[in-house]
A = this chain, B = another copy of it.
Amino acid sequence: MTRTRVDLTDLQIEHLRTLVSGQVSTNSSVLELHSHDESAATPVLPSAVVMVESMQEVSQVLAYCNREKIPVVAFGAGTSLEGHVVPLLGGVSLDLSGMNKILEISADDLFARVQPGVHRIALNEKLSSHGLFFSVDPGADATIGGMAATGAAGTTTVRYGSMRENVMALTAVLADGTIIHTGRATRKLSAGYDLTRLLVGSEGTLAIITELTVRLFGIPEKMAAAVVRFPSLTEGVAAATAVVRSGIAVARCEFLDAKSIGYINVHENLSLTQAPTLFFEFHGSPIGVEEDAKSVREIVSEFGGSEFEWTTDEGQRRKLWQARHSAHWAILGANPGMASVSTDMAVPLSHLAQAVEMAEETLTNSPYLFAVVGHVADGNFHCQILVDPNKPEQQVHVREITHAMTSKIIAMGGTCTGEHGIGSGKMKSLVEETGEPAVQMMRAIKQALDPNAILNPGKIFKEAL
């Protein structure tokens, strides 16, 4: 890319201040906060941070930045894992965290309409009094807008789908400030191009999302959790695959390797047996969840599953999933000063055991600390690999290793990313996976909608500019 960093002039900053009611900040600690996400991607400072409070402000800021050719990167909670929010070319970091209103909850029609800065946990707290929940759970307390932009998924996707299935309608602002409405709050829709799903997962490169209508579910009558241990990683993964094939509608099914269990034991003050482990969750009627758990127990025992524990106690269930979701921070907490590169490969289920073994072997032969967790019922797993952020050559080296692993995954019919997105780190893998013509098609769409390439430049693919 021949484009160079854009630093705003004082006049440009003054003009931006006339467009928004919130702050336009060039304070160094504010810039630093907007320079990185939770990945090991090299931070880059924006030139200014613009805090917006309405769709109209987003529209005005974009129209201005488009005229001035100032890059704009949307920022929510900063919990992305592929450097999505890093403003590679400086310019404006557009902070949407002030747009955090829940605008409507329709219990009858099972949807909520929210602003993009609403956090996942806050939404679910509000929904629980209606007996409802928003299902997509990536672990981190991300914003709903950010989750849509990255096409997030998580531990419940096996049962309830990812953001692609759970965003019904959007309001968004295009690069030139045009406000568009996509989708409807209906359960079915076939009206023209599916712009909603084009924007979901577009990583802020096509539009800035300013309002979302998301699908809700009723809180199940009964929820139960189960834990089971395996002699080896391969047997654990094979057991999970067998459970999925049986057709039992598990609500969650997560794999953690022995190392991950060790880290979360320390982080969460637990004493789980340090062995390859599957965590399950079941949703349904009291009889239904018990039947499901019984069937799962039978299946996993054929793969050497032992110490099967199950609980319908709400406190214990929450504690278990809190532990699972802390894995990312647990490994970092145990290794202070280190940063994490997380892979996100997914394969068809029949290749999963082979894929996880390949990853385990490759990383065991590398000089880096790592642990493996996985949404195994979806064929999706993460290797969390630790690097020293002060040794950039380590990150380059790890990227080489993961790229080679990803090539093998792609050869198995898999994908380089099940839920984290491409960001700036996986652009080569995207070409390898889908082919240059499809990436060229994405580029053509980008160019048609954002001809000055101001929206999150340098992500997903290199722009034509």
**A21 CB contacts on chain B under 8 angstroms:** none
Task: Check B201 against A194 for contact (C-beta < 8 Å).
Answer: yes
Task: Tell me which residues from 360 to 409 in chain A have a Cβ below 8 Å from any Cβ of chain B.
Answer: 375, 378-380
Picked from B110, B193, B445, the residue with its CB within 8 Å of the CB of A201 is B193
* Smallest CB gap from A416: residue in B: B191
Task: Check B448 against A444 for contact (C-beta < 8 Å).
Answer: yes
User: Contacts A106-B350, A445-B445 hold; do A417 and B190 have CB atoms under 8 A apart?
Assistant: yes
**Min C-beta distance of A84 to chain B, whole Å:** 11
Task: Check B413 against A192 for contact (C-beta < 8 Å).
Answer: no
Residue A200 at the B interface, CB < 8 A? Answer: yes
Residue A318 at the B interface, CB < 8 A? Answer: no
User: What is the size category of the interface that chain A forms with chain B?
Assistant: 35 or more
User: Contacts A109-B350, A441-B174, A444-B449 hold; do A184 and B415 have CB atoms under 8 A apart?
Assistant: yes
Alpha-carbon distance between A192 and B192 when the two chains are bound, in angstroms = 21
Task: Check A198 against B201 for contact (C-beta < 8 Å).
Answer: no
Q: Of A261-269, A331-339, A431-439, which binds chain B?
A: A431-439
Task: Check B442 against A164 for contact (C-beta < 8 Å).
Answer: no
Residue A153 at the B interface, CB < 8 A? Answer: yes
What string of 1s and 0s marks CB contacts (under 8 Å) between A52-65 and chain B?
A: 00000000000000
Residue A197 at the B interface, CB < 8 A? Answer: yes
Task: Check A191 against B348 for contact (C-beta < 8 Å).
Answer: no
What string of 1s and 0s marks CB contacts (under 8 Å) between A133-152 and chain B?
A: 00000000000000000111
Task: Check B420 against A190 for contact (C-beta < 8 Å).
Answer: yes
Alpha-carbon distance between A174 and B445 when the two chains are bound, in angstroms = 13
Task: Check B190 against A421 for contact (C-beta < 8 Å).
Answer: yes
Task: Check B198 against A418 for contact (C-beta < 8 Å).
Answer: no
Q: Of A40-48, A91-99, A175-183, which binds chain B?
A: A175-183
Task: Check B109 against A186 for contact (C-beta < 8 Å).
Answer: no
Residue A245 at the B interface, CB < 8 A? Answer: yes
**A161 CB contacts on chain B under 8 angstroms:** 165
Task: Check A445 against B442 for contact (C-beta < 8 Å).
Answer: no
Task: Check A193 against B442 for contact (C-beta < 8 Å).
Answer: yes
**Min C-beta distance of A176 to chain B, whole Å:** 10
The 3 nearest A-B residue pairs measured at CB = A448-B448, A188-B418, A109-B348
Given contacts A192-B439, A192-B442, 8 further A-B contacts (CB under 8 A): A182-B434, A184-B346, A191-B421, A192-B430, A194-B194, A220-B247, A444-B448, A445-B445
5 A-B pairs within 8 Å (CB atoms) are namely: A109-B348, A181-B435, A189-B346, A191-B429, A191-B433
